[in-house]
Amino acid sequence: NYMTSAEIRQAFLDYFNQQGHEVVASSPLIPGNDPTLLFTNAGMVQFKDVFLGSDKRAYSRATSSQRCVRAGGKHNDLENVGYTARHHTFFEMLGNFSFGDYFKREAIKFAWEFLTQRLGLPEERLWVTVHYTDDEAEKIWKEEMGVNPERFSKLDEDNFWAMGDTGPCGPCTEIFFDHGPDVAGGPPGSPDEDGDRYIEIWNLVFMQYNRSADGTMEPLAAPSIDTGMGLERVAAVMQGVHSNYEIDLFQNLLKATASVLGLDSLDSKSLRVIADHIRSCSFLITDGVLPSNEGRGYVLRRIMRRAIRHGNKLGANEPFFHKLVAPLVNEMGEAYPELAKMQAQVERILLKEEQQFAKTLDHGMQLLTQAIAELDGKVIPGETVFRLYDTYGFPVDLTADVAREHELSLDMDGFEQAMEAQRERARASGQFSVDYNDQIKLDGSTAFTGYDRLEDRAEVV
């Protein structure tokens, strides 16, 4: 029962449409209704206000295939890309939503029916989890759906979903696919659950609360349903492969990347990173993000520079990244006409960033390689990290990415100190008017903003 990604997307929307759901188009990656959210990270984002009751729609059931980016904020998978079989910075989330209409029973019934009937997945390959307090969902799964208690677990944090630190949230139930004993990893809730054998495919969230900044949770007026299933993960299941990177779409992108770089083999972590990053970068630009040194633009720049560095590692000595837009449009332009329309512009912006970063990438890599060679211990000094950042335009996470390949870490305290010393010097000389305290928090790592000198330096080095 092989299905292409496009066929799965259509089957999903058709199925829920037949169950009375309005088919709603994907919203852009910049959330239109929420300045606190970095990027659209789930299908529910465009319906956030409907869940909260402050927005009304003509329908109470909806279904969508939503483009998502998880590269900062509460949901950040940037560091997972290339290391797990299942994470992307950009992916498509299939979802069905109930706005005060059906609740747990129907949501579970729809999901189980779609997977076992419509997609024909064998029940023995599926594993179900619920929140440990949710006896109601447990009962529906075991007594009404007949799920085997041996493939069932009750969890805590993993079964409570929230869009961000504030906003709609609630307990959830998740469905995993067992890729079989050839893959390392234990079932959800077991000590070795971090392996990739049991891969989470679908999350059904029982939206019940609105969390405020102080952490208090107010019940929603109308309990609702929000589900999300990763298209690439289901495609892997339906195409009989383990890794998302083995599905139709990614095989074509990997081939295109290898061909542009003149490589024979498709088996490389760097190739997977590049194939992943061309999607997030192209769609972010399509949706209006431009590379810059702050906020969303800095996240885009970080992803671009990581991709460029990985290309460089594979031997690229001229701009290559922008050449992958055309193959991407081939794969996704039909489902996303806005991407096809923006192709030339996306290529231009990527090329410009490649040319600009090329001026410092080689020198920066030389500095870093030498620092690593001379290293006594496992930690790259903060001074080096700062110099790479300040002089060579290496976002800290890029340096960390290189360090990780050598099983090294960064002295972040030393980096902060070097940064502070820089601020002091700037203050003392009255040289800069920019506010160095103007920072954005991106999931633990701090990106410094209000700082335009990367460009200036890039020109002079």
Q: Look-up: residue for tokens 């671009």? A: 304
* Residues between 178 and 217 with contacts to ligand ATP, criterion CB under 6 A: 200-203
Which partner from the list ligand ATP, Mg ion, none does 305 bind, CB cut-off 5 to 8 Å by kind? none
Is 228 near ligand ATP (CB under 6 A)?
yes
Q: What is the CA radius of gyration of the chain?
A: 23
Is 230 near ligand ATP (CB under 6 A)?
yes
Strands 152-155 and 445-448, sheet pairing? unpaired
86 or 322, CB closer to ligand ATP?
86
374: number of Cβ within 10 Å: 7
Query: Which residues pair with residue 224 across a beta bridge?
Result: 207
Which partner from the list ligand ATP, Mg ion, none does 86 bind, CB cut-off 5 to 8 Å by kind? ligand ATP
Query: Minimum distance between the CB of residue 158 and Mg ion, rounded to whole angstroms?
Result: 5
Using the rule CB under 6 A, which residue among 51, 72, 77, 169 binds ligand ATP?
A: 77
- CA–CA gap between residue 459 and residue 455 (Å, rounded): 6
Strands 379-380 and 409-410, sheet pairing? parallel
The residues, any chain, with a CB within 8 Å of residue 284's CB and separated by 6 or more, are 29, 39, 69, 296, 300, 303
Using the rule CB under 5 A, which residue among 203, 286, 360, 449 binds Mg ion?
A: 203
Q: Which residue is nearest to ligand ATP (CB)?
A: 230
Is 82 near ligand ATP (CB under 6 A)?
no
Using the rule CB under 6 A, which residue among 9, 61, 67, 86 binds ligand ATP?
A: 86
76 or 286, CB closer to ligand ATP?
76
CA distances to 54, 61, 92 from 23, rounded to whole Å, are 21, 9, 15
The residues, any chain, with a CB within 8 Å of residue 429's CB and separated by 6 or more, are none
Q: State whether residue 224 is helix, strand or coil.
A: strand
Q: Which stretch binds ligand ATP (CB under 6 A): 3-11, 49-57, 87-95, 282-290?
A: 87-95
For 13-46, letters b (16+ CB in 10 Å) and e give bebbeebebeebebbbbbbeebeebbbbbbbbbb
Q: Which stretch binds ligand ATP (CB under 6 A): 114-122, 181-189, 226-234, 348-356?
A: 226-234
Query: Minimum distance between the CB of residue 251 and ligand ATP, rounded to whole angstroms?
Result: 16
Is 283 near ligand ATP (CB under 6 A)?
no
Is 226 near ligand ATP (CB under 6 A)?
no
Amino acid at 317: N
Tokens for 114? Answer: 């779609």
Query: Minimum distance between the CB of residue 77 and Mg ion, rounded to whole angstroms?
Result: 6
Query: Minimum distance between the CB of residue 333 and ligand ATP, rounded to whole angstroms?
Result: 20
31 or 228, CB closer to ligand ATP?
228
Which partner from the list Mg ion, ligand ATP, none does 260 bind, CB cut-off 5 to 8 Å by kind? none
200 or 354, CB closer to Mg ion?
200
Q: State whether residue 66 is helix, strand or coil.
A: strand
Amino acid at 360: T
**Counting every residue, how long is the chain?**
461
164 or 230, CB closer to ligand ATP?
230
Is 39 near ligand ATP (CB under 6 A)?
no
Q: Which stretch binds ligand ATP (CB under 6 A): 222-230, 351-359, 393-401, 411-419?
A: 222-230
Residues touching ligand ATP: how many (CB under 6 A)? 17
Is 243 near Mg ion (CB under 5 A)?
no
Q: How many CA atoms, within 13 angstroms, populate the side-chain half-sphere of residue 247?
A: 26
Q: Give which of 279, 291, 257, 335 is closest to 25, Cα–Cα.
A: 335
- Work out the angle between the directed axes of helices 269-286 and 337-373 (0-180°, nearest 10): 130
Residues touching Mg ion: how many (CB under 5 A)? 2
Which DSSP state fits 93?
Answer: E
Query: Minimum distance between the CB of residue 160 and ligand ATP, rounded to whole angstroms?
Result: 10
Asked whether the beta carbons of 27 and 40 are under 8 A apart, the reply is: yes
Q: Which stretch binds ligand ATP (CB under 6 A): 229-237, 247-255, 301-309, 430-438?
A: 229-237
Q: Look-up: residue for tokens 């160095």? A: 436
* Residues between 172 and 201 with contacts to Mg ion, criterion CB under 5 A: 200
- CA–CA gap between residue 389 and residue 354 (Å, rounded): 17
151 or 233, CB closer to ligand ATP?
233
Binding site for ligand ATP (CB under 6 A): 70, 77, 86-88, 91, 93, 161, 200-203, 228-230, 232-233
Binding site for Mg ion (CB under 5 A): 200, 203
